[in-house]
Chains A and B, each alone.
Chain A
Amino acid sequence: MSYIFRTIIVPAAFQPLAQGLCEAAAEGDAGKGMFTTGLSPDGTEPATHYISSGPIATEFGDLLPLTTFDEEGAPTTRPGAVATVEAIAAQAGIDLPAGTIAALFAAIDVTEQEPFAAMARLGVQIAQVSE
């Protein structure tokens, strides 16, 4: 299996769906337990977003949208494979209203950026859990 690097940030409202889809799409437990690190603008709870960053299977990464940046920081976004992901969801028994995956892909931020650079760009930071 080959891997590619991705940083994925999802709005909190999409966290359960993103977790379910990743778990369904990945082999074994490889997609289980994603999006557990909360983010927020001021670094306090509640989380407004969740992040997963690191190696993912190449074929999984190819399904997702991808935003890249040129040297001046100008973004270009490649769309995700909505129909394929809808099929994966259906196969996993995840019943979704029409347009849900498209809405998810429109809301998530998928880049090759180092996670802290992606967080800074979106104006969020890790929500520290008070001890």
Chain B
Amino acid sequence: MELGIGLGITIFPGWGVMNIGQLFASGEQGAWYDPSDMSSLFQDSAGTTPVTAVEQPVGLMLDKSGRGNHAVQATTTKRPVLSARVNLLTKTDNFADAAWTKSSVTVTGSTVLGPNGVDLVPILNYSGEGLIRQSVGKSTDAINYKSSCWLYSPTSNALTTRLVGDGAVIAGSTTKITVAAGAWTKFESWGTAGAGTTFIRFDVLAPSGSDISAWHPSLTLATDAHLPYQRVNTATDYDAPAKYPAYTQVDGTDDALTSATGGGGTTGFFFSSAVLTTLAGAKQVLWSDAGTNTGYEVSINAANKLQLSVGTGATRVTVESAALSTNARYVLTAWHDGTNIYVRVNTGTPVSVACGVASAGTAEVTQFCENGASAGYFRGRSYGVVYRKDAAPGPATIDAVIRYLATKSGGPV
């Protein structure tokens, strides 16, 4: 059971109550950033223009810890964007719209009652072996997608949905079902759009002469497929209630935030963040106050492993996890207790390496999503960040923080 997410209070059976603010109750330095709390976000770095809707830039993210370590970005192109988008399609409540390309398909002007018994859904006529499709741009990495869509035909017909990457049908994605006359049937298709493809396309096919209706089409990353259908009108107009986790979208080329205060200590440090990375094979910094052989740096390294690197003054000591997957949600946690450094993925077993006192980092300046030298940019989603400068919390508290952040991402732990 979870209560009072907005207050950062989470109750878990067997875990007690976790109030994120309690991490800082004794004046500990650190920060807590919560993209789901729009009142803590501003479009500009000066804090004069609040974020009022999804898909607006985030130039200032207030620190909810009470320590005042707010994260800012002055340059507009370097600002992350607040998002809750999961359905990649547009005009999802109207297949008659021009956003849906129609080949040998016409809009009849008639409607049928949708599966929910409320919506009136347009009837489309396939005058030939046609299809309705919508393409979405994608990055050139291999990405797993899943689509779903309810289809209806007044007569029994073999209907098909499929996914297409740059014009080639994605192997295994074709779902062909002979629907019962007058009954709504949910179709699901999934597959991997390979590396190098720049468009993912969702197709609905039907035999010549058939009338069909389509309702609640959805195309998501496979990792988002468990979320409810999200209505999308345009890229900036879509359903974004709390059931779709809010995140800051970070582009991997220049987006980053910085805090002029905060930083890590020397005998203790704790960092935890819920993320989804879309980049593999390149170092991505999540948090840093590191200088040359000083300070702490939490990253996903070039081997796609969560890594904590600690400067001792003369060298850097690192500890890393097993490899992570792209396009999957994780709560990534790293800490230093003055004796060892640890990394932990979700609630898995921590990996540790001996490490004594750290050497203080760069004048307490904290970087998020880059290394502070215009490199190591993170690409993906950040659902929330909690860090504490000094003594790392105990195991039960770490578990509770991880579970709190997992609720923010909607992902498993």
Complex Cα–Cα for A34 and B75 (A): 7
Q: In the assembly, what is the distance between CA of A51 and CA of B252, in Å? A: 11
A12 within 8 A of B: no
Interface presence of B9 (CB below 8 A): no
Q: Is B120 at the interface (CB under 8 A from chain A)? A: no
Docked-complex contact B198 and A71, CB < 8 angstroms: no
Q: How far is the CA of A55 from the CA of B78 in the complex (A)?
A: 8
Q: Tell whether, in the assembled complex, residue A32 and residue B75 are in contact, meaning their CB atoms are under 8 Å apart.
A: yes
* Chain A min CB distance to B73 (Å): 9
The docked-state distance in angstroms from the alpha carbon of A115 to that of B278 is 13
Instruction: Flag whether B108 is at the interface (Cβ < 8 A).
Output: no
Q: Mark B68-90, 1 if CB is under 8 A from A, else 0.
A: 00000011111101000000000
Of B109-117, B131-139, B326-334, the one touching chain A: B131-139
Encode A68-86 as 1/0 by CB contact (under 8 A) with B: 0001010000000000000
B38 to chain A minimum Cβ distance, whole angstroms, is: 16
Q: Which residues of chain B in 29-44 are interfacial with respect to chain A, using CB atoms and an 8 Å cutoff?
A: 43-44
Interface string of B235-273 (1 = CB under 8 A from A): 000000000000000011111000000000000000000
B residues less than 8 Å from A120 (CB atoms): 140, 196, 198
Interface centre among B43, B135, B252, B254 (most CB of A within 10 A): B254
Residues on the B chain within 8 Å of A6, using CB: 77
Query: Across the interface, do B252 and A116 meet the contact criterion of CB distance under 8 Å?
Result: yes
Please tell me if the beta carbons of B282 and A55 are within 8 angstroms of each other in the complex: no
Contact with A53, one of B45, B56, B77 (Cβ below 8 angstroms)? B77
Asked if B57 contacts A31 (CB within 8 A), the reply is no
Q: Could you say which residues of chain A place their CB within 8 Å of the CB of B140?
A: 116-117, 120
Q: Which of B329-348 contact A (CB under 8 A)?
A: none
Within 8 Å by CB of A30, from B44, B56, B135, B141, lies: B44
- Annotate B119-154 by CB proximity to A: 1 below 8 A, 0 otherwise: 000000000000000010111110000000000000
Instruction: Please classify the interface of chain B as helix (H, G, I), strand (E, B), loop, or mixed, using the class held by over half of its residues.
Output: loop
Instruction: Check A36–B374 contact: CB distance below 8 A.
Output: yes
Determine if B208 is an interface residue (Cβ-Cβ < 8 Å). no
Taken residue by residue from 48 to 61, chain B's Cβ proximity to chain A (1 for < 8 Å, 0 otherwise) reads as: 01000000110000
Query: Are B78's CB and A54's CB within 8 A?
Result: yes
B57 in contact with A51 (CB, 8 Å): no
Partner of B375, one of A26, A31, A129: A129
Say whether A3 contacts B75, CB under 8 Å.
no
Q: Is the CB of A37 within 8 A of B377?
A: yes
A30-B75 contact in complex given A37-B254, A115-B253, A117-B137, C-beta closer than 8 Å: yes
Q: Using C-beta atoms within 8 Å of the partner chain, give the interface range for chain A.
A: 20 to 34
A126 proximal to B (CB < 8 A): yes
With an 8 A cutoff between CB atoms, is B199 at the interface?
Answer: yes
Taking a contact as CB atoms under 8 Å apart, the answer to whether B137 and A113 are in contact is: yes
| Residues of A contacting B79 in the complex (Cβ-Cβ under 8 angstroms) | 54-55
Check if A36 sits within 8 Å of B199, measured CB to CB: no
| Pairwise interchain contact A56-B77, C-beta atoms closer than 8 A | yes
**Which B residues touch A113, using CB under 8 A?**
137
Query: Closest residue of chain A to B78, judged by CB?
Result: A54
| Docked-complex contact A52 and B254, CB < 8 angstroms | yes
Contact partner, A34, options B77, B251, B373, Cβ 8 Å:
B77
B233 at the interface (CB under 8 A from A): no
The one of A29, A37, A57, A71 that contacts B199, using a Cβ cutoff of 8 Å = A71
- A29-B74, A32-B75 are contacts. A54–B45 as well, Cβ < 8 Å? no
CB contacts (< 8 Å) of B185 on chain A: these are none
Interface string of A102-131 (1 = CB under 8 A from B): 000000000001111101110000101100
Interface residues of B (CB under 8 A from A): 43-46, 49, 56-57, 74-79, 81, 101, 135, 137-141, 196, 198-199, 251-255, 282-283, 373-375, 377, 379
21 contacts between A and B (CB under 8 A): A28-B46, A28-B74, A30-B44, A32-B74, A37-B253, A51-B254, A52-B253, A54-B78, A55-B56, A55-B57, A55-B76, A55-B77, A55-B79, A71-B135, A114-B137, A116-B252, A120-B140, A120-B196, A126-B253, A126-B377, A128-B283
Interface, chain A (partner B; CB < 8 A): 1, 3, 6, 8, 26, 28-34, 36-37, 51-57, 71, 73, 113-117, 119-121, 126, 128-129
Name 9 extra pairs, CB < 8 A, besides A1-B43, A37-B374, A126-B282: A26-B76, A29-B45, A34-B77, A53-B77, A54-B81, A54-B251, A114-B137, A116-B253, A120-B196
- Ranked nearest first, the 9 interchain pairs of A and B with the lowest CB-CB distance are A54-B77, A29-B74, A55-B57, A52-B77, A36-B374, A116-B139, A129-B375, A120-B140, A115-B253
